[in-house]
Amino acid sequence: MEFEAWWLILFPLCFGLGWLAARVDIRHLLANSKLLPRQYFEGLNHLLGERTDKAVEVFVDLARNHSETIELQFALGHLFRKKGEIERAIRMHQKLLARPELKQHEKHSAQYELALDFMKAGLFDRAEELFGQLDDTDFARAARRHLLDIYQQEKEWKKAIETAQQLRDTSHTYQHEIAEFYCELATAAMTRSQPQEARQYLQQALAEHRKCVRANLLLGELAANEGQFAAAIEAWLKIESQDHRFLPFAARKLLDAYDKLGKAEEGTALLKGFLSSYPELDMLDVLVERIAATESDAAAYDWLREELRRNPTMAGLLKLQDAQTKSAPAERRAELETIQRLTQEATRGASMYHCASCGFKARQYFWRCPACNDWESFLPARGQTKA
């Protein structure tokens, strides 16, 4: 390849043009930065240093002297809400909405922020109205998610179902949540002594999510309340194919239904079979009580000891200690009670239900976690921390 002399002119020229362009950009940047008030950078420094109170003071003063800065007012409203000063956040966003020069997107943004303020303040009716006005805007999906939260807090389950159906997509079908909403409607209908309405809701829950264990638990209760014990047993036995870990939730109900049908031994054998097939089931208490009631305390103790040998669990050990303490001579009972208490304290987590989403622990089972509000996130076995 031959070297052309004119290249000697081209190289410096390109370099000079690049340098000139960079200088123009730098000058433009410096000119824009000079237009920003010094207080803006002062407030920014406070934010970066996590001194929110100081930042708010600076930005409030800045907004007072530069009322035309819409972005600053949005930022202030957000800061007020974050600090818990909801009334100031509401006033700021209402002031923004009143500005006639707002562009359409800015107006929608102000409506959305104001709705968040109302929601934070617990003014759900006003928040719902504003979120509802954001259909067919860029904020529609986010607004619906917040509406879903509101409807769940207010137990407006029909509205929650409708909103969840609007939100469903390939990434989140909401089938678990919708099925639970139908179960909530069924529970309310059962409380009002409307079994037929409750049954319809539960069938809709299963149509939405065929593995909804709660629906079959409630269907069994409805049948048992009407004296249809065979139908109740049929409903509860379906839980095994849905998620066998929930079988203990129906254990006592199953035994009672078999008793009502005059098939007590069959019911006991069924639970023993479940425990043999699924050793992790938390069913020891029910079976120990059953064997003690139908046979004797000694038979229950022998069965428990054999079960613990076959499948060692902390729940079984605690139950065995309890049985030993109750049957021990008076002079040994205090010593065994001390051992039992120490074991219980060391294994306290084994007697609690855990939320798989946030780790919240509770002695009773919740279909919806009180801490993170996720549905069906509580693991069905006490002490279980992994799904």
369 carries a ligand binding annotation: yes
355 carries a ligand binding annotation: yes
- What is d(CA 34, CA 200) in angstroms, rounded to the nearest whole number? 68
Please choose, from the candidates 254, 248, 313, the residue with its C-alpha nearest in 3D space to the C-alpha of residue 281: 248
Burial 229-244 (b: 16+ CB within 10 A, else e): bebbbebbbbbeebeb
Burial of 98 (0-12, 13-18, 19+ CB in 10 A): exposed
Q: How close are the terminal C-alpha atoms of the chain, in Å?
A: 69
14 carries a ligand binding annotation: no
- What is d(CA 265, CA 257) in angstroms, rounded to the nearest whole number? 12
Instruction: Please report the DSSP string for 223-279 in residue order.
Output: HHHTT-HHHHHHHHHTHHHHHGGGTHHHHHHHHHHHHHTT-HHHHHHHHHHHHHH-T
- Judged by DSSP in three states, 11 sits in helix
Ramachandran region, residue 83 (left: φ > 0; alpha: ψ -120 to 50; beta: rest): alpha
- What is d(CA 219, CA 190) in angstroms, rounded to the nearest whole number? 11
Start-end of H helices in the chain? 7-35, 38-48, 52-65, 70-83, 86-97, 104-120, 124-132, 140-153, 157-167, 175-191, 195-208, 213-225, 229-237, 239-243, 248-260, 264-277, 284-294, 297-310, 314-327, 330-346
Query: Which tokens hold the place of 144?
Result: 């619906």
Burial 103-129 (b: 16+ CB within 10 A, else e): eeebebbbbbbbbbbbbeeeebeebbe
Q: Binding site for Fe cation: which residues?
A: 355, 358, 369, 372
Q: Binding site: which residues?
A: 355, 358, 369, 372
